């Protein structure tokens, strides 16, 4: 039953996400796909993924222990803080710190997690900003 409830919740979330993506305002100068394409694609993928647990739920779900639930809540809190930090600290710094923290919580040693955070942040910045020329949140240093 819990799998079906999660599937339905994700299906409703995907419908809301796609609806909100259709509300994105476009200017007269836009790229070929437009700003709505990727959010609609992500919402569609979530909807497809949500259908599987509705159709075929796990007969005996294995719920995580209290320690794992605390880790999940912590990860969600880090992601919420990330959304607030983006406009202030910018994409590169916010993503480096968030990626580093999440890498550390996934089991990397602190130095490895810091290197992973910086690498992920710079890598995404290069691909999305420099190669694809998409706009990312600017930080106090202008990038």
Closest CA to 33 of 48, 21, 16: 21
How confident is residue 75, by pLDDT bands cut at 50, 70 and 90?
very high
Q: Are residues 90 and 123 in the same domain?
A: yes
Q: Are residues 89 and 137 in the same domain?
A: yes
Q: Are residues 27 and 74 in the same domain?
A: no
Q: Are residues 82 and 57 in the same domain?
A: no
All residues at 6 or more sequence positions from 40 whose CB lies less than 8 Å from its CB, including other chains: 18, 21, 22
The winner for highest mean pLDDT among 15-19, 29-33, 55-59, 136-140 is: 15-19
Q: Are residues 39 and 107 in the same domain?
A: no
All residues at 6 or more sequence positions from 36 whose CB lies less than 8 Å from its CB, including other chains: 21, 22, 24, 26
Q: Are residues 17 and 70 in the same domain?
A: no
How confident is residue 1, by pLDDT bands cut at 50, 70 and 90?
low
Q: Each residue of 77-102: pLDDT tens digit?
A: 999 999 999 989 989 999 999 999 99
Number of domains in the chain: 2
Residue 63, class by beta-carbon neighbours within 10 Å (0-12 exposed, 13-18 middle, 19+ buried)? exposed
Range of the domain at 35: 1-63
């Amino acid at each position: 039953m819990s799998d079906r409830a999660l599937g339905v919740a994700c299906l409703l979330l995907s419908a809301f996400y796609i609806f909100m993506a259709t509300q994105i305002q476009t200017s007269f100068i836009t790229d070929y796909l437009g700003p709505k394409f990727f959010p609609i694609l992500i919402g569609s993928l979530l909807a497809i993924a949500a259908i599987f647990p509705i159709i075929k739920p796990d007969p005996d779900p294995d719920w995580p222990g209290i320690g794992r639930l605390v880790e999940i809540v912590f990860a969600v809190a880090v992601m919420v803080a990330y959304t607030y930090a983006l406009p202030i600290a910018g994409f590169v710094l916010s993503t480096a710190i968030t990626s580093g923290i999440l890498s550390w919580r996934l089991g990397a040693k602190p130095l490895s997690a810091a290197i992973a955070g910086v690498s992920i942040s710079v890598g995404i910045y290069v691909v999305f900003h420099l190669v694809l020329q998409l706009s990312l949140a600017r930080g106090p240093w202008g990038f």
